Structure 1
């Protein structure tokens, strides 16, 4: 930044989460500071919906945060379930195609007189097809047979 450029002013609210009190006092008994920070209502609050909040001053919200324990009231099994590294990711997902192409559609579902759908998969399926005798072919062997114009089932004769 050059010396002649004006500096941008930082907002006056220095702490994240501070909300202008607008006459609201801290909810702690005997405190006359403005209540600028929102904290959960505490022990009597229900977990249905967004929940009730109380407004605290900076000192009291710091004390509240220092004593807050997310796991209060949970059994050891519930704590373990909440701390698992994959919590919430138990859903099964479908496997990706390994051949680089989608699986061909069930042909009984389509009427395709011009073979427009099947043409996409014929070459891929021919390349992926193995030998009739069950012997595997390496990539080099497949390329060599392709150069010679032979099928994967070609024998030495």
Structure 2
């Protein structure tokens, strides 16, 4: 199975100014994503478009294609938080695309990410299983 690599990004910003406050009032302060090559997302969105008989078009996610590892969970081992900023992590994709609401993603396997969650004092398995978000059905908007 092919392996891909993402780069660890902690507390990813929501806008070019570095803001991390979400519309619901929460923040991305305790988030960890693996930022992936934009070409991987472009390719997978194109496959989705073809599979949908060219009837749907996905927009690029805010952070580009990414694997969600920690989503708003405060670690108990704070000394390990952010110590992998910029570090690569390899993962494998389950080639069965899934959609929940307006988001399209692929399940992934990444033992390094699960090991890191444990090192942070978090449950090994996240509430939402590891996944590579490739796009959404939101209309693309201009720069923030």
TM-score grouping bracket, smaller chain normalisation = under 0.3
Q: TM-score, normalised by structure 2?
A: 0.17
Q: Which has the higher strand share?
A: 2
Q: Which structure dedicates a bigger proportion of its chain to helix?
A: 1
| TM-score, length-scaled by structure 1 | 0.16
